[in-house]
Structure 1
Amino acid sequence: MVFPSPGDLGARLLLLFYINLAAWEAGSGQVHYSVPEEAKHGTFVGRIAQDLGLELAELVPRLFRVASKGRADLLEVNLQNGILFVNSRIDREELCGRSAVCSIHLEVIVDKPLQVFHVEVEVKDINDNPPVFPATQKNLFIPESRLLDSRFPLEGASDADIGTNAQLTYRLSPNEYFSLTVPINEEQVKPLGLVLQKSLDREEAPELYLVLTATDGGKPEQTGTVQLLITVLDANDNAPTFDRTLYKVKLPENVSKGTLVIKLNASDLDEGLNGDIIYSFSSDVSPDIKSKFHIDPITGEITVIGHIDFEESKAYKVRVQVTDQGALPLSGHSTVLVDVVDANDNAPELTITSLSLPISEDAQPGTVITLISVSDRDSGANGQVTSTLTPKVPFKLVSTFKNHYSLVLESPLDRESLSAYDLVVTAQDRGSPSLSATVSLSVEVADVNDNAPAFEQPEYTVFVKENNPPGCHIFTVSAHDADTQENALVSYSLVERRVGERALSSYVSVHAESGKVYALQPLDHEELELLQFQVSARDSGFPPLGSNVTLQVFVLDENDNAPALLPPGSGSVSGSVSELVPWSVGAGHVVAKVRAVDADSGYNAWLSYELQPASGGERSPFRVGLYTGEVSTTRALDEADAPRQRLLVVVKDHGEPPLAATATVLVSLVESGQALKTSSQTSAGARGPEAALLDVNVYLIIAICAVSSLLVLTLLLYTALRCSVPPTEGACGPGKPTLVCSSAVGTWSYSQKRRQKVCSGEGFPKTDLMAFSPSLPPCPGAAAGMGEPHTSEDSSGKVGCSSILFIHLFIY
């Protein structure tokens, strides 16, 4: 190989640069380079990083790589300077055969984000292959009787190069007998051969030695030679001839063995053995042709004996000859051109070159997921491929270059709706019948934290008995997060607030992982009837998402408070008191009144009064009202009654178990005058309290009458508020109603007790006034007013007792 001078080399490199620049600008985004074949290792091809608009510093971080199907080792990129260079020997003839255009297609792939570029490197042919004849020597047997201008075909040379490098010229060594005829086109209607210019004389020259030289058009030129040994024969002066010098046949590929290709026809003007002809392949026919075709020596039929594959060879040039059987056999020659017709026998091939999986569910439409290339070895319509994507998914195929596609995201994803997609890419050619190929691809959707934990209910109602042990489990909250992994890992916490003067965290706590809510201290119904707070559920995503749920913890009352007697004064009894009763009083005379209150509520605060029987079994002339606490006479007193009597009044609630308190009343029986005198002596100190008590009774009676007239309106308003307005955090209101049944004894009593209400501050004291109607029947199952109350639930879900009337007076 001869290299140009340095000056010529610089000019050629400059010209090559402008050619590459123009090719790149005209390539619609595709970079084109060219490189001569057989270039040395390290030969500069192009500044690929600069031409693709990539920074040198980002080649390594973005995983810059070059992919070439089956040709990855020919070219390489220096990641330090971004130069594409020759890595190993490039043989154009080995790479592309005799194709007019030979190029290496490179896919340049960079990640983060994923980009793909297409680079075409054209391999320029150099004159590195000399012409080659089928054999180094060819023997010709020519009778001396052949006429002048007789033609003797020769097998031409072949050159593996293309273009000018493969344009051959022939010359024959100087001689006086033969001249050379050269074909004027590729079809070689007049093949290369010798033309007899002077009659042969075997006795003068029995053998002739000639040299045929073939020279290509390359710079520098290369040559090939074949030695022609011509033996001059006697006799048989008519050679067989074919009816045509060139036969053209079209043969479909994949035909079965034994298929007739063509039947040759030749004739010989001689007679006898000199006119009997035999067909055969020329001696210079390649073994490949002999393995695929067979010629019948008698009939001249050429049949198929091997596999005919269009992708292996698109045409076959078969040289045939016919020879007579004379003593000095003569031959005739012809050429059969077999054009192989392509059949759609190759299905498309799909190749996945790069994957970016899994894809985040918040990925934007247009994100590239994978690169897919399609190829088909057939030609024409049989090699034209269309690609489709099934089933209907939020992805699409985008054509990037020829049969190269990108699988991109078309619409937003939601992992909670579908966490993975099974895609099928189908490539189908346009042959008849059409062939197709498929490739399956599973696209996994990666989770992002786009779902907050959710509770089943926005609010829960919990009932807890008071005096619970510290640290007891009272409820479990549970929230579900539709995300996965750490985005679905839920932790719980209290939403801190103040309950009166104390922090919420001093009352309850919640386990961060299980959601179990614990009471940190014993709860007291008398201090706190309702504890309302929120629990927050938060996931572990970034950024974290959360939601809240409200818990209403009702503290249920237990009978933990015994009845308490009211302080002395106003005629009430506390502990022990003495009373003077005239002998003359009749039955029903009120001697004293015992009053008590209970800090509990409901049945636990419903009090009853009993008179403890006197010792010795004597029948006492006194009794006490079951629910009023009034101590009165049961009959007229007589001299048989003891002048001094000690009465024990037991006050009990209706709790389980019941709690009690005892009051002692000392009754002294005196004469009427002494009772009046005692009454007048104490009138100065006692008149005031008695008068005040009478005034209070009058006011209470008036209040009862007034309230009774508004009873219906009050109940309707209360029912409407309970149904339409749910309780809100921070609102103070009355505690839950207490169910109490009346007995046959009708009276009224009041209890004043201070309670802390459920709100951010302290509530005000209230006075509960409970009125019992003696005309109403007792609750079913109640015995002497001691039975359990009968409750009924109407359609609105509210509980009532037919024998009870509650009137709550709020005094602020």
Structure 2
Amino acid sequence: MVVREGRCGRRQRALLCCVLVAAWEAAWGQLRYSVPEELPKGSFVGDVGKDLSLELASLRARGARVVSQGRTQYFALHANSGHLVTAERIDREQLCETVQQCVLRCEVIVEGEMKVYVIEVEIVDTNDHAPGFREAETELRMNEMTVPGERFPLPEANDPDVGLNSLQRYALSGDEHFSLSVQAGSDGEKRPELVLAKALDREEAAFHELLLRASDGGEPARTGTARIRVAVLDANDNAPAFSQAVYTVRVPEDVPVGSTLLSVTANDPDDGTNGEVKYSLQRISMKASNIFLLEPETGSITLVRNLDFEEGDSYELLVQARDGGGFSDKTKVSISVTDVNDNAPEISVRSALSEISEDASPGTVVALLHVQDRDSGANGEVRCSLGEGVPFRLERALDDYYSVVTARELDRERAWEYNVTVRAADGGSPPLFQN
């Protein structure tokens, strides 16, 4: 950044002084809008010009633009109308898969006035997903000696929508031997269970065909189905049992792809196929299913895609162990991702003067800087500093904004131009920098 001092005529100097008397005060206003997801590009979000009492002529003459926090710019500002519009089609589930309330933040920068207005836009869920099962067909194996009232876990449906648009109910159709029970887990999830209502007789029927239906609460409701095939077998005395009710592991985000994160183990003392245990995933999010792989024979969980703490810091999997006789057990796997200082601070000049009068009073703002770091904790804490030997200082304008202001009176005869270097460093060990 280069700041030059120059002598102005009386009229030009008076005009510049009027601007400087305003001291480039930052008017940190804030607005909040709400729009449904999946709107076409260019859809109306809010009348920023009206809501912030900004004159359209001033917007066009002095320049205004929208800056989003992330790499993707989801919003744009029409200077002619003062309207905030969508710059991309926004998918709430892609941005906020595990967050109930999805809020995007952006800032309106008024260049000529060096003012920043914070805008928060809530992305409201629409019922654009139907509940879905990981597998269209599931087979359960039951011994013909199973006592009526025995419960068997059924596959759970997944619906990435939230609120009433998410999964609300299950229904079962089939025959008189079975009924459905839905349990509420401690995490609020609905867990369907198959209940044996009438004793089985393998000689009477070796198989039973059932249909499990999952429905959401949208208007109209959307549904997904899974076929349940029950095979009736002879006696199996023992069910598999996991060595732990919950498996937990913490891994750094830079762990190499292909690494085994942990292994789950279930023991079954039966012989033959009744004692052969295989593992499967019963519940996993769409994002996690692309990151982790469960080996069905050994129970090992390996990494198939790079982790990114900024995209997800924890994952939860529900693993089932089933023996050859149809008995099963479940365990929960909790994977925590720890942050690594893999992102350097980013610093950008949002607005700056190219020249200034030598009689500008100390404290005059000459540049507005924005800093950010995608890491978390100390790794994402950014501090800025100026090079030595310049008549300027840094002032904190907002959490992620700095102002470069004059520290003393300027003298063109001593120096007519300054090269000002701002250095941003995070709190990592070792820290990462950007100039």
Q: Which TM class, normalised by the smaller chain length?
A: 0.7 to 0.9
Residues 55-91 of structure 1 show CA distances to partners (whole Å, capped at 9, x for unaligned) of 122221112322335443x434343332323455332
Asked if 1:378 is matched to 2:375, the reply is yes
Amino acid at match of 1:124: V
Amino acid at match of 1:60: R
Q: State which of 373, 379, 387 in structure 1 corresponds to 2:384.
A: 387
The CA distance in 1 between the partners of 2:66 and 2:302, in whole Å, is 47
Residues 95-120 of structure 1 show CA distances to partners (whole Å, capped at 9, x for unaligned) of 33332332333322233343332222
Corresponding pairs, count: 407
Aligned counterpart, 1:322 = 321
The CA distance in 1 between the partners of 2:304 and 2:92, in whole Å, is 32
Residues 145-193 of structure 1 show CA distances to partners (whole Å, capped at 9, x for unaligned) of 3343433323322222234433533222264233334342364899543
In 2 relative to 1, CA 409–104 (structure 1 residues): closer, same or farther, beyond 3 Å? farther
The CA distance in 1 between the partners of 2:66 and 2:143, in whole Å, is 65
The CA distance in 1 between the partners of 2:349 and 2:433, in whole Å, is 13
Amino acid at match of 2:248: K
Aligned counterpart, 1:654 = none
Asked if 1:368 is matched to 2:360, the reply is no
The CA distance in 2 between the partners of 1:400 and 1:336, in whole Å, is 44
The alignment partner of 1:382 has SS state of helix
Residues 500-537 of structure 1 show CA distances to partners (whole Å, capped at 9, x for unaligned) of xxxxxxxxxxxxxxxxxxxxxxxxxxxxxxxxxxxxxx
The CA distance in 2 between the partners of 1:308 and 1:70, in whole Å, is 18
Amino acid at match of 1:368: V
Q: State which of 414, 425, 428 in structure 1 corresponds to 2:422.
A: 425
In 2 relative to 1, CA 78–284 (structure 1 residues): closer, same or farther, beyond 3 Å? closer
Aligned counterpart, 1:118 = 118
Kept after mapping to 1: 8 A contact 2:280/2:296: no
The CA distance in 2 between the partners of 1:50 and 1:374, in whole Å, is 29
In 2 relative to 1, CA 62–375 (structure 1 residues): closer, same or farther, beyond 3 Å? same
Correspondences of 1:323-342 after superposition (within 5 Å): 323-324=322-323, 328=325, 330-342=327-339
The alignment partner of 2:415 has SS state of coil
The CA distance in 1 between the partners of 2:93 and 2:334, in whole Å, is 23
**Structure 1 unmatched runs, 5+:** 1-26, 440-812
In 2 relative to 1, CA 420–196 (structure 1 residues): closer, same or farther, beyond 3 Å? farther
The CA distance in 1 between the partners of 2:147 and 2:339, in whole Å, is 45
In 2 relative to 1, CA 359–384 (structure 1 residues): closer, same or farther, beyond 3 Å? same
Specify which structure has the bigger relative contact order, considering alpha-carbon pairs within 8 angstroms and separated by 6 or more residues: 2
Asked if 1:346 is matched to 2:343, the reply is yes
Amino acid at match of 2:312: S
Aligned counterpart, 2:24 = none
The alignment partner of 2:165 has SS state of helix
Q: Name the % identity.
A: 41
Correspondences of 1:654-669 after superposition (within 5 Å): none
Kept after mapping to 2: 8 A contact 1:274/1:329: no
The CA distance in 1 between the partners of 2:167 and 2:64, in whole Å, is 42
The alignment partner of 2:334 has SS state of strand
Aligned counterpart, 2:84 = 84
The CA distance in 2 between the partners of 1:385 and 1:56, in whole Å, is 35
Aligned counterpart, 1:769 = none
Superposition deviation, residue 267 in structure 1 = 2.4
The CA distance in 1 between the partners of 2:305 and 2:339, in whole Å, is 16
The CA distance in 2 between the partners of 1:401 and 1:125, in whole Å, is 31
Aligned counterpart, 1:212 = 212
Kept after mapping to 1: 8 A contact 2:181/2:192: yes
Amino acid at match of 1:316: Y
Superposition deviation, residue 338 in structure 1 = 1.7
Kept after mapping to 1: 8 A contact 2:291/2:303: no
Residues 354-398 of structure 1 show CA distances to partners (whole Å, capped at 9, x for unaligned) of 333244444444443333222222234433333333335322333
Aligned counterpart, 2:434 = 438
Correspondences of 1:648-687 after superposition (within 5 Å): none
Kept after mapping to 2: 8 A contact 1:289/1:316: no
In 2 relative to 1, CA 81–368 (structure 1 residues): closer, same or farther, beyond 3 Å? same
Amino acid at match of 1:437: F
The alignment partner of 1:30 has SS state of strand
The CA distance in 2 between the partners of 1:220 and 1:381, in whole Å, is 47
Aligned counterpart, 2:194 = 194
Kept after mapping to 2: 8 A contact 1:289/1:318: no
Give the TM-score, by structure 2 length. Answer: 0.78
The CA distance in 2 between the partners of 1:257 and 1:93, in whole Å, is 25
In 2 relative to 1, CA 353–430 (structure 1 residues): closer, same or farther, beyond 3 Å? same
Kept after mapping to 2: 8 A contact 1:178/1:195: yes
Superposition deviation, residue 48 in structure 1 = 1.0
In 2 relative to 1, CA 347–133 (structure 1 residues): closer, same or farther, beyond 3 Å? same
The CA distance in 2 between the partners of 1:337 and 1:372, in whole Å, is 40
Amino acid at match of 1:373: H
Residues 743-771 of structure 1 show CA distances to partners (whole Å, capped at 9, x for unaligned) of xxxxxxxxxxxxxxxxxxxxxxxxxxxxx
Kept after mapping to 2: 8 A contact 1:426/1:436: no
Aligned counterpart, 1:310 = 309
Instruction: Kindly report the root-mean-square deviation, in angstroms, between the aligned alpha carbons of the 2 structures.
Output: 3.5
Kept after mapping to 2: 8 A contact 1:277/1:322: no
In 2 relative to 1, CA 414–316 (structure 1 residues): closer, same or farther, beyond 3 Å? same
Aligned counterpart, 1:47 = 47
In 2 relative to 1, CA 283–76 (structure 1 residues): closer, same or farther, beyond 3 Å? closer
Asked if 1:415 is matched to 2:412, the reply is yes
Kept after mapping to 1: 8 A contact 2:281/2:294: no
Amino acid at match of 1:379: S
In 2 relative to 1, CA 400–188 (structure 1 residues): closer, same or farther, beyond 3 Å? same
The CA distance in 1 between the partners of 2:341 and 2:87, in whole Å, is 37
Superposition deviation, residue 402 in structure 1 = 2.6
The CA distance in 1 between the partners of 2:193 and 2:276, in whole Å, is 22
Aligned counterpart, 2:23 = none
Correspondences of 1:262-661 after superposition (within 5 Å): 262-270=262-270, 272-274=271-273, 276-282=275-281, 289=289, 292-293=292-293, 295=295, 297=297, 300=299, 302=301, 307-324=306-323, 328=325, 330-391=327-388, 393-431=390-428, 433=429, 435-439=431-435
In 2 relative to 1, CA 408–100 (structure 1 residues): closer, same or farther, beyond 3 Å? farther
In 2 relative to 1, CA 423–108 (structure 1 residues): closer, same or farther, beyond 3 Å? same
**Structure 2 unmatched runs, 5+:** 1-26
The CA distance in 1 between the partners of 2:418 and 2:195, in whole Å, is 75
**Higher strand fraction: Structure 1 or Structure 2?**
2
In 2 relative to 1, CA 34–402 (structure 1 residues): closer, same or farther, beyond 3 Å? farther
Residues 309-355 of structure 1 show CA distances to partners (whole Å, capped at 9, x for unaligned) of 3234322333434344x5x5654443322222333333322233333
Give the TM-score, by structure 1 length. Answer: 0.45
In 2 relative to 1, CA 137–362 (structure 1 residues): closer, same or farther, beyond 3 Å? farther
